[in-house]
Structure 1
Amino acid sequence: MLDARADRPNTVPNRAGVGFKAQHLDGILKDPDSIGWLEIHAENYMGDGGRPIAQLRHLRERFAISCHGVGLSIGAEGPLDADHLTRLKTLVDWLEPGLFSEHLAWSTHDSHFLNDLLPLPYTQATVDRVVDHIDQVQTTIGRQMLLENPSTYVAFAESDRSEIDFLRDVAQRSGCGLLLDVNNVFVSATNQNYSPEGYIDAFPTELVGELHLGGHEQDADDFGALLLIDSHSRAVVDPVWALYEYTLAKSGPRPTLIEWDNDIPDWSVLAAEAARADHLLSAQPALPK
């Protein structure tokens, strides 16, 4: 298995990073040492120019950059969008991100794009399809992709393997790495009544190139049971921080993103979340190889 961070000029360090938002630019530049790296969503930077591209070109000279895709629809039944892949390759070629990742999800059907990341049944047919799509992506952009575990709210009756076995099968066949979203684990475990620590225990952490942390909302299902919604709209809650520490003890330090994409706070609030993650990362010794 390739190291997702190997032989790249823009290596993402084992520190906390944040998703870049334009309103935080001044705060970031005033205190660049407060964060280890920045993440951008690929689809926001696929144009030919303008202020966003100019800002990103400036930031890439000072920070390691991770590029996170949200629109490839890796799990879709149909073929990947060739134009989307071409635009992604153009971005990756000049940006040279230290990491590139996408979701285990689908968001397209025929010519329609759905503004959501929808779940997949965990079957051999889905493994085959996802592997083919990842092979196409990695061949096109010339680097390894990380595949992110989803937050889930339902399970498919036709699934013939666990989510962890599915991710391991895909990674072993395609050569992709994995992105372990700790908040997604907590959300899914709560919604489907299993142990989040048990999930981490079984996860192939040796394949993990990046970790994610984020906030979620509390709701209730039709029967009044607690339902968590992965919203990226608030601070990381204490049980997720505890699960993050548990994960680090298994994985060793990994680049860790603080996700906050909705109801975006002042820079000081986001920087404090990153500082908390950095503190936990620095306290965790690297695992022996």
Structure 2
Amino acid sequence: MENKPHEFPPQQMEQPGKEHKMNPEPEIIRDSYKGSDKLKDKVALITGGDSGIGRAVAVHYAREGADVAIVYLNEDKDAQDTKEMVEKEGRKCILIAGDVGEETFAKSAVKRTVEELGRLDILVNNAGEQHEQKDIRDITDEQLKRTFATNIFGMFYFVKAALDHLKEGSTIINTTSVTAYHGNKLLLDYSSTKGAILAFTRTLAQMVADKKIRVNGVAPGPIWTPLIPASFDEEHVKTFGQKTLLKRAGQPSEVAPAYVYLASEDSAFTIGEIMHINGGEMVTT
């Protein structure tokens, strides 16, 4: 059978994107995915957990037996939909709205997670934003600071707040990107933050290894999430993902199992590593 390039219906939306307005909506979890208590009675805090990869991670974690705290900006309907998906799996879910780029919010989000869910075992730093610009001169000071605040400063803030609660066997998982390795000429500031996350992950892993806390990351390639129609023009969205070997974009359901692996005992000897889920985009690690 010929491997024909997949196309999405042309669409655009304002940031932050809304998953319930996407056409088609992303696949969050496969019906065939069977949980096996890999994360039984663990508690996970996921930034950017309302939609896309974050939502898929939350639902997969719930199917594996974890309770979940979802941190998001202002996408209330998407967050509520995610909460319902988690609860459908028989697990607890709390929603915490705020700006991950503010340290006071990070502290309060971690505090609330521990107070309401009883503990914290897994921190997933996943929140991110990107803005297409063809010329570095068009990247305003406001955009530059906003992108770095969301994508990398927030990771510092949440890790700082979480470390008082994480114990031996706990895990931290950071979402970087394939752009950290080969860049993207339309996403200069975003790619720069993703490179910073790569270094942050590897260095933090060394810093907390003595505490028996494992730090790893995931570098997704082109994945169909609300960030895509909220970042690019209709023509880019239409052909999104066609440059992969599979000639299509990936789905959140195809990324989330990597986060399950890195959060579970299956990855007990994996530390400071980055998992590449990108449809065959060869990168040098």
Q: Which has the higher contact order (CA 8 A, sep 6+)?
A: 2
- Which category describes the TM-score, using the shorter chain as reference length? 0.3 to 0.5
Bigger share in strand: 1
TM-score by length of 2: 0.37
